[in-house]
A and B are shown apart, each in its own frame.
Chain A
Amino acid sequence: MKKILFIYRLFLLGAAAPLLAWPGSVLASGTGLMERINHADEPLPLLPVQELPLKTVLAKDSYQGGDFRVLARKGAISRYRCSVCHTDKAAPQVKDGVLFSHADIELNHGRGVEKLACIECHDEKNRDLLSDAQGQKIDFDHSYQLCGQCHFRQKRDWLGGAHGKREGFWAGERLIHNCTSCHNPHSPAFKSKLPETYSLPLDD
C-alpha cells in the first residue's frame, strides 16, 4: 500500500514537472501594454528624417497644438493659373474646345439635389482661388479649409490623423496628404476597379 502511495506521488510529480514552465511565462506576459502607452504623455523630440523632393505648404490649421505641413496642390493642377483664360473678357478664345470648356471633367460631388455646381467651390470672380459658402477666399493649396465646411467630421479626423495619410514618413515633421491628393474634388468617391493582386489559395 505504501509503495502504491509512493508511486502515486511520483506520478503526480512527473505530470506536474512541465507545469513549472508556466508560472514564469504567465507572470511575464505583458499585461501593461495599454498602461505603458497611456503613461507615455511626454512629447518626444522629432526624429530627423531625410527630406522629400516635394512641394509642401505649412497648414493653416494646427495639429494637437502644433504645426504640420500638407502637400501643395497648385503644382498638380495642369491648367493652373486659371486666370490665364478666365479673364475679364466675356468670351475667351476657344481653340481646343474640350480642354478649355472643362468638358473632360466629370462632376459628381454630392447627392441628388445636393449635387454641387462648379461655382459652389470655385470663386466666381477670381478663378485662381476657391471660396466657401461664406464667400471666404481659399487658396488651392489649402483646399481642406473648403472641404471641411461640409465634411467637418472627416476634417476633424484628418487633423488628428484618423483620416487621410502621412507622406512617406511616420517620423520627422508631420507632412500629410491634402484632401485633393487622394480624392478627385470633382468626383471624390473612390472608383471601383480590379484589385492589384490576389491571394492564394484560389484553387479550393
Chain B
Amino acid sequence: MDSKRKKEGVMKREHGAKKSSRRSFMKNLSIAAAAGSAGLVTGGCGLSAEKSEEMGLAWEEYFKKNYRLMSQEEKDETVARLERLAKLRDGVDIQMASQEPHEKVLYGYAFNISRCKGYMDCVEACVKENNLDRKTKTQYIRLFEMDPGKLDPTSGEGKYFHEVPVENKFYMGVQCFHCENAPCIKACPTKATWQEPDGIVVVDYDWCIGCRYCMAACPYWGRRFNWGKPEVPKEEINTKQHYLGNRMRMKGVMEKCTFCIQRTRQGKLPACADACPTGSRVFGNLLDPESEIRFVLKHKKVFRFKEDLGTEPKFWYFMD
C-alpha cells in the first residue's frame, strides 16, 4: 500500500514537472515548427532535432491520462502533440478536434431494407472518411445480400461482388449499433471504451491495451482490431479528424464505427448516410420529436437485430 502511494506521489511530481515543460513547449510550438528544430527533450545524442522532438512528444503521449479524465487544457495539449506528431512522422497537416457532445442530442440510425440496393457507396465513403486501413481492407459497414423469407443478416451473403440489385434479393447493412446497454463497454478492463452523452460508443485508442475482450463481447461484430499498423496512402488521409473518431490508429488497438463523430458533432450526416444514393439511411437526433429518425420510429414498423440480447441498439431496420 505504502509503496504504491509513494509511486503515485512520484508520478504526480513527475507530472507537475512535465506540465511546466509542456506549457513552455506549447508556447514554443509555433516557433519550433517554423524553425524545424526544437531540441526540446534530449537534444544532441546524434539524433536529428526532429527525431528527438518526436521522441519527446511520444514520451509525453505515453504518460497521458484516459481521455475522459483529461481537463480541457490537457485535451488541447494532447491534440497539439498529435497534430505535431502527424507532421513529424507522416508529413501530414491534420486538424484534430476534441469537440464535445451537444446537449439534448442522442443519435439514432434507421436503415430501410426495402430501399437499399447493395451498391456499397456507404462502405467506400466510410473507408475514406474514417482513414480505415487499406492494407487489410478494414470496413466498419457490412452489407448482406439476403434471400427473401429471412430477416436475419447472419443468413445473408456478405461477400458478394456482382451487379446489384439482384432480382428477388434484398440488402441489409450492419455496423456498430451504439447499444445503449453495450456489452463491449462492460467488458473493457481499462474503461478505454465508453458511451458519450450523445449516445456514441467511442474508443480511446491510446488507452486501449488490445486485449480484444470487447470484440468477443460484441454480438454484432461491430469492432475491428488493428493486427498490424494501419496504412493509408498519404494523399488519401482525411485530415479533418477527431480524437475519438477518425484519427490514425496505431497497431494493437481496437477501433469501430463512431457515427463519424468528427462530422456528426458539427451537425453533418455520417459519411455513410451522406453517401447513400438510395436514401436508405436515416440519421438524426432521437430526442428531437421533429427529427426524421423519430418519424421513422413513430410511423414505421421497426425492428432491431438480436433484440433478445437486451443490448438496446440505437439502430433500427424498417421497410417502406
Which A residues are within 8 Å of any B CB, using their own CB?
Answer: 25, 29-31, 33, 36-37, 40-44, 47-50, 63-64, 66, 153-154, 157, 160-166, 168-172, 177, 182, 190, 192-202
Task: Give the distance to chain B from A177, nearest Cβ to Cβ, in Å.
Answer: 7
Residue of A nearest to B144 (CB): A199
Indicate the size class of the contact surface on chain B.
Answer: 35 or more
A196 touches B281 (CB 8 A): no
A37 touches B264 (CB 8 A): no
The CA of A159 and the CA of B272, in the complex, are separated in Å by 22
B137 touches A200 (CB 8 A): yes
Task: Give the distance to chain B from A167, nearest Cβ to Cβ, in Å.
Answer: 9
B279 touches A163 (CB 8 A): yes
Q: Which of A154, A160, A170 contacts B285 (CB 8 A)?
A: A170
Q: Which residues of A contact B277 (CB under 8 A)?
A: 182, 190
The CA of A182 and the CA of B117, in the complex, are separated in Å by 13
A170 touches B295 (CB 8 A): no
A44 touches B104 (CB 8 A): yes
The CA of A170 and the CA of B310, in the complex, are separated in Å by 28
Residue of B nearest to A203 (CB): B159
Residues of chain B in range 231-281 having any CB-CB distance to chain A below 8 Å: 264, 266-269, 273-274, 276-279, 281
Q: Which residues of A contact B108 (CB under 8 A)?
A: 37
Given A43-B289, A171-B267, A190 and B120 touching (CB < 8 A)? no
Interface SS, B side:
loop
Asked whether any CB of chain A lies closer than 8 Å to the CB of B162, the reply is yes
Asked whether any CB of chain A lies closer than 8 Å to the CB of B186, the reply is yes
The CA of A50 and the CA of B121, in the complex, are separated in Å by 25
Task: Give the distance to chain A from B132, nearest Cβ to Cβ, in Å.
Answer: 11
The CA of A195 and the CA of B120, in the complex, are separated in Å by 5
Total A-B Cβ pairs within 8 A: 161
B161 touches A190 (CB 8 A): no
A42 touches B289 (CB 8 A): yes
Q: Which of B106, B136, B290, B295 contacts A66 (CB 8 A)?
A: B290
Q: Which residues of B contact A163 (CB under 8 A)?
A: 112, 115, 279, 320
Q: Which residues of A contact B137 (CB under 8 A)?
A: 199-200
A195 touches B269 (CB 8 A): no
Task: Give the distance to chain A from B124, nearest Cβ to Cβ, in Å.
Answer: 4
The CA of A27 and the CA of B164, in the complex, are separated in Å by 45
A162 touches B292 (CB 8 A): yes
A-B contact pairs, 15 of them (CB 8 A): A31-B312, A43-B288, A44-B287, A48-B267, A161-B293, A163-B320, A165-B282, A168-B274, A169-B268, A195-B164, A198-B160, A199-B159, A200-B159, A202-B159, A202-B161
Task: Give the distance to chain B from A128, nearest Cβ to Cβ, in Å.
Answer: 28
Q: Which residues of B contact A33 (CB under 8 A)?
A: 180-181, 312, 314
Q: Which of A49, A160, A192 contacts B295 (CB 8 A)?
A: A160
Asked whether any CB of chain A lies closer than 8 Å to the CB of B294, the reply is yes
Asked whether any CB of chain A lies closer than 8 Å to the CB of B99, the reply is no
Q: Which residues of B contact A177 (CB under 8 A)?
A: 279
A193 touches B163 (CB 8 A): yes
A-contacting 9-mer, from B17-25, B27-35, B87-95, B296-304 = B296-304
Seed contacts A161-B291, A190-B117, A198-B120; 20 additional CB < 8 Å A-B pairs: A36-B287, A37-B108, A37-B287, A50-B266, A64-B295, A160-B299, A162-B296, A162-B300, A163-B320, A165-B273, A165-B276, A169-B269, A170-B273, A182-B278, A192-B164, A195-B120, A197-B123, A198-B159, A199-B142, A200-B139
Task: Give the distance to chain A from B300, nearest Cβ to Cβ, in Å.
Answer: 6
Given A166-B292, A198-B120, A182 and B279 touching (CB < 8 A)? yes
Q: Which residues of A contact B104 (CB under 8 A)?
A: 40, 44
List 6 tightest A-B contacts by C-beta distance, closest first: A161-B292, A171-B267, A49-B267, A165-B279, A30-B180, A160-B295
B295 touches A161 (CB 8 A): yes
Residues of chain B in range 98-133 having any CB-CB distance to chain A below 8 Å: 102, 104, 106, 108, 110, 112, 115, 117-121, 123-124, 127
A153 touches B269 (CB 8 A): no
